[in-house]
Structure 1
Amino acid sequence: MVAASAAEPIQTVKIQEDNPLSPARRVILLGASNLTRGISTVVEIAKAQWGSPLDIMSALGHGRSYGKTQRVLGRTLPGITECGLWHDLDKRPQADTASLITDVGNDLLFGVSPIQVVEWIDQCLERLASVSRSLVITELPLSNLSKLPASRFRLFRTILFPSCRMTLLETGKAAEDLNDGLLKLANRYRAQVVRPDEAWYGIDPIHIKMRHWPAAWARIMQPWSKQPLAGPAKGSFFRWLWLRLLTPHYRQILGIDQRKKQPAARFADGSQISLY
């Protein structure tokens, strides 16, 4: 899946390591595998929608949990509510901020109840609402689940969530309950809600197809700006590879701690990115 994700057109991007100035505009991105796979496209659309240079702060990762430490293929990351993003956010200068919460649902297949996931999202929204001018939440792809054959569900459950024993019916009910909770939170915090388009997906019911990344992420982040994008985001293999190789604030690889002071990198336009 990762190898296929790297097939964006090549376009050179200069990235700098030293720039003491902090951008006056910020985006906060919280998510899991879709955000991780499409991060290069997301960065470009964020600049177009919210302005540049940007202070980009993102907690992401394949199989990322919103509230508990999770290990996937030998790599361990803390839950998003527990990661270093919040501490660093408190220490940074104030900035015009737009925030996104996406990829909500992984935790269900790791055995976490919808009520608990809603509590974790509530914690994130409470923190984000105090600093954000624009908040966006994506719904779960419920229509995909409702049309998914049981045999295909078992296949993807085995590949992506091998420890999960939930049935398709149980997963669908939990996803509906979680989505209802998200909508209530969005109303409470006055967040914009974006419903995923069925056309963004293929046989994989939860991961956006690569060819739809520009359109999908532009739609997801559209509430940040009153003006539509002038054109689709330009892909860059170098930018994608660079962003995927950056070291986050904290992780474990095969049980070995890795730490890196953030920002992880700065771009030539003055933007910077921090990963958690």
Structure 2
Amino acid sequence: MNGDSGIPSPSTSLIGENEFHICVLLGASNLARGYSALANYLTRNLKPEAVKIYTACGPGRGYGCWGGMFNISYPPIAESPLFERVRKQARDGNRIVALITDIGNDLLYGMDGDSLIATMKNLFGRLEDLNAEIYATTLPVYFEGNVPAMVYYPIRTFLYPKSRISREEAIKRVRRVNAFLKEYKSSHFHLIPPLDDYLGWDHVHFGLVRSAEVWNRIGECLLDGLGRRPHRPIRFPRMLLSYRDCFIRLVFMEMFRCIRRSKNLF
């Protein structure tokens, strides 16, 4: 159990002061749901080596804008103290890997494509300065196409009730950001192939039934960045526990604040 929050935390298991890997996990609602399962997966597959996991996520969270849902508001990921914490923790010989996913909420909050690209470039640069191997996902390819109005506007209303971004403008912005991600060149940057096959009815969130499959795929990429191979996959029951943990964090940590936020969550 994590002493700060009371929520099971698989993020640390040090075998020596400087002998650990560092994993940085950045995202929004998909990562919030899969965080516990992914952190557990990384810890189990890296044993007996130790790992420190630092995460900034939350439903509706943005990289350059304030975001959230219900009565919860999260600061921009790009402004998170997480990066300074990782910089201070990094030691010579530590290997660092980063996941950047759930990109796109900012576009529905009003940020234009070029501004989001500038934010992501800066974020990539900060991670590259730490010699981190970066693994990023694209925005859903579905939204690059001619999304029907009867699909787009209900999704916008349900997930982004204050947004007034038109369907045409949203498609334009998604295409612009995805083109940037596909064209970005760096020896430290790796683009995970589109994950649309795992998305649910809203074309935004991973469906529960295939959630273990998609997080195994993402986890394998992160392990590859650390030079390791997986041997203990995520099973569906673990995903159910991960969704449960997400609910506990959302209600008791974020809404009512009766559980303290653990030190590795930002």
- TM-score bracket, normalised by the shorter chain, equals 0.7 to 0.9
Please, which of 184, 191, 194 is the counterpart of residue 193 of structure 1?
191
Deviations 1:111-160 (A, max 9, x none): 10111111111121111112244211111111355264320211111000
CA separation of 1:189/1:180 partners in 2, compared to 1, >3 Å: closer, same or farther? farther
What is the CA–CA distance in structure 2 between the aligned matches of 1:48 and 1:127, rounded to whole Å?
28
Do residues 229 (structure 1) and 234 (structure 2) align?
A: no
What is the CA–CA distance in structure 1 between the aligned matches of 2:213 and 2:55, rounded to whole Å?
21
Letter in 1 for 2:64: G
Matched-pair contact (CA < 8 Å) for 1:129–1:189: no
What is the CA–CA distance in structure 2 between the aligned matches of 1:17 and 1:49, rounded to whole Å?
12
Matched-pair contact (CA < 8 Å) for 1:157–1:164: yes
Aligned to 1:69: 66
Aligned to 1:130: 129
Letter in 1 for 2:43: K
What is the CA–CA distance in structure 1 between the aligned matches of 2:249 and 2:131, rounded to whole Å?
26
Please, which of 20, 25, 28 is the counterpart of residue 21 of structure 2?
25
Deviations 1:171-212 (A, max 9, x none): 111100011122233x13541111223321232111111122
Q: RCO greater where, 1 or 2, for CA within 8 Å and sep 6 or more? A: 1
Aligned residues with identical type, % of pairs = 23
Please, which of 18, 35, 41 is the counterpart of residue 39 of structure 1?
35
In structure 1, runs of 5+ residues without a counterpart are 1-12, 264-273
What is the CA–CA distance in structure 1 between the aligned matches of 2:242 and 2:206, rounded to whole Å?
19
* Stretch moving more, 108-117 or 71-80: 71-80
What is the CA–CA distance in structure 2 between the aligned matches of 1:191 and 1:57, rounded to whole Å?
19
Do residues 275 (structure 1) and 265 (structure 2) align?
A: yes
Aligned to 1:163: 162
Matched-pair contact (CA < 8 Å) for 1:32–1:62: yes
Shift of 1:14: 6.5
Greater share of strand residues, 1 or 2? Answer: 1
CA separation of 1:173/1:53 partners in 2, compared to 1, >3 Å: closer, same or farther? same
Question: Paired residues, what number?
Answer: 247
CA separation of 1:83/1:259 partners in 2, compared to 1, >3 Å: closer, same or farther? farther
Matched-pair contact (CA < 8 Å) for 1:24–1:55: yes
